[in-house]
Amino acid sequence: MSKIVIRDGIILPMIESYSKDKDLFFKGNLYIEDGIIKSVGNEPDNWQPDQEIDAKGKIVMPGFVNSHTHAAMTLLRSYADDLPLMHWLEQKIWPLEAKLLADDVYWGTLLACTEMISGGTTTFADMYFFMNDTAKAVVDSGMRASLSRGMVGAGPTAMEALTESRLLVERWHESHQGRITTMLGPHAPYTCPPDYLEKVMDLADQLKVGLHIHVSETEQEYEDIKKQYGASPVGLLNQIGLFERPVLAAHCVHLSNEDMDILQQKNVKVVHNPESNMKLGSGIAPIPELLGRNITVALGTDGASSNNNLDMMGEMRSAALLHKVNKKDPTVISAYQALEMATKYGGEALGLPIGVLAPGKKADVILIDLNKPHLYPLHDIPAHLVYAAQASDVDTVIIDGQVVMENRNIRNIDQEKLFFEITKRAERLTSK
């Protein structure tokens, strides 16, 4: 039995929807027992904690959920920039990825975990390959993750990817006290034709897991799919029945009203990746319209090769500002909505009991230090977190009831060895 009390913090539970008439936060204590939130505010009977954490002057809130990324692409950070998506993929990224070894993916993922923990991210949804090694990095870092083996149906490894996906689910799903869950990861409609997606759907039904897929990321993809199949990417996936299963749809930049109606009717969870979409010139996803239809919209960074960081605080700020300037309306995507996308909606999108501070939820909690010059005076906490705070303001990170970072010190990772391994592997990958 392990009991933790976080004392005297400013608690932001992220349970309530925003209203001027509601108290969104309060000063008090948070109680954790065996990886689960026991109580928020009220001390349980006969409470004798094993550890006390002083949260005076700190915000206590749910950890961020990075709902779409390719963690090991940290190895390709700043390797290929200022290029359109398909040129970026075909000429730069895919050739380099062909040289990756399983051990590279382990170290690249561990680097991503280190970066994410330091910025308050406690859970991420990943799509890549060598996923056993990704999972090992997740275990070693102490993070929570939803893992998918990326599958390209039009490539030479199509059948191998199906086999590896089955093995990933059978070995890792709901392992390590539920810290690791799995999905199937067909890359996108333009790399996975319908006959291959049928095989993926059959496997998902057998294994009883959902799907993580890129959808309508670029205008070119939208036009090509429509020309080939007579339907938009969303329309095509709906026609073949993909949306009859739980689906995490990354990007969703180019959508018609009919597409959005389908996403709403089929309860598809969307992941918004504003910085990656901006950097690759992919366009601006219709997030206000999706939220207006009560579609769950989570937030993701995408990979560190197209962002180029895994900073969810920066992603929240970008998400809020991008839509304000796009709509010429400063009321669009409020600070609190951006926070919901990064926490509560991330938990909903991944189907996990995370993203809010409430009894019975997983104890994934972060403390943010307000004693910084850029956080004075304290007029509005949600606005501070989205528009003023920085990743380096995260002081303490608790995942599954375990303290993985305290006073900015990450406990489980030897960063000196990590940086040595990353430098060595990056040099090998980029050598001619």
| Domain limits, the chain | 3-62+359-410, 64-350
Q: How far apart are the first and last CA of the chain?
A: 54
Task: Tell me which residue of 220, 261, 271 sits closest to 89, measured CA to CA.
Answer: 220
Phi-psi region of 252 (alpha: psi -120 to 50; beta: other; left: phi over 0): left
Q: Is 301 helix (H, G, I), strand (E, B) or coil?
A: coil
User: Measured on CA atoms in the order 29, 30, 32, 37, is the torsion positive or negative?
Assistant: positive
CATH number of 3-62+359-410, picked from 3.40.50.300, 2.40.50.100, 3.90.550.10, 2.30.40.10:
2.30.40.10
DSSP state, residue 22:
S
Compute the 3-state secondary structure of the chain and give helix, strand, coil in percent, each to the nearest 5.
40, 20, 35
Query: In whole angstroms, how far apart are CA 335 and each of 355, 365, 382?
Result: 16, 20, 6
pTM for this predicted structure? 0.97
CATH of domain 64-350: 3.20.20.140
Instruction: Report the distance separating Cα 60 and Cα 144, nearest Å.
Output: 19
In degrees rounded to 5, what are phi and psi of residue 388? Answer: -120, -35
Q: Which residue has the tokens 């959508």?
A: 255
What DSSP letter does each residue of 316-336 carry, written as one string?
Answer: HHHHHHHHHHHHT-TTSS-HH
What was the pLDDT predicted at 172? Answer: 98
What was the pLDDT predicted at 88? Answer: 84
Instruction: Report the distance separating Cα 292 and Cα 287, nearest Å.
Output: 8
Listed in sequence order, the DSSP H helices in 280-380 are 287-292, 312-327, 335-342, 344-350
Residues 6+ apart with CB under 8 A from 241: 201
Instruction: Report the distance separating Cα 95 and Cα 74, nearest Å.
Output: 16
Q: Report pLDDT digits (tens) over 182-213.
A: 999 999 999 999 999 999 999 999 999 999 99
Residues of the chain short of pLDDT 70, as ranges, are 1, 18-21, 432
The distance of Cα 26 from the centroid of its chain, to the nearest Å, equals: 27
Instruction: Report the distance separating Cα 348 and Cα 121, nearest Å.
Output: 16
Instruction: Report the distance separating Cα 274 and Cα 276, nearest Å.
Output: 6
Instruction: Report the distance separating Cα 64 and Cα 312, nearest Å.
Output: 7
What was the pLDDT predicted at 1? Answer: 62
Q: Checking DSSP bridges between strand 402-406 and strand 409-410, what pairing results, if any?
A: antiparallel
Residues 6+ apart with CB under 8 A from 202: none
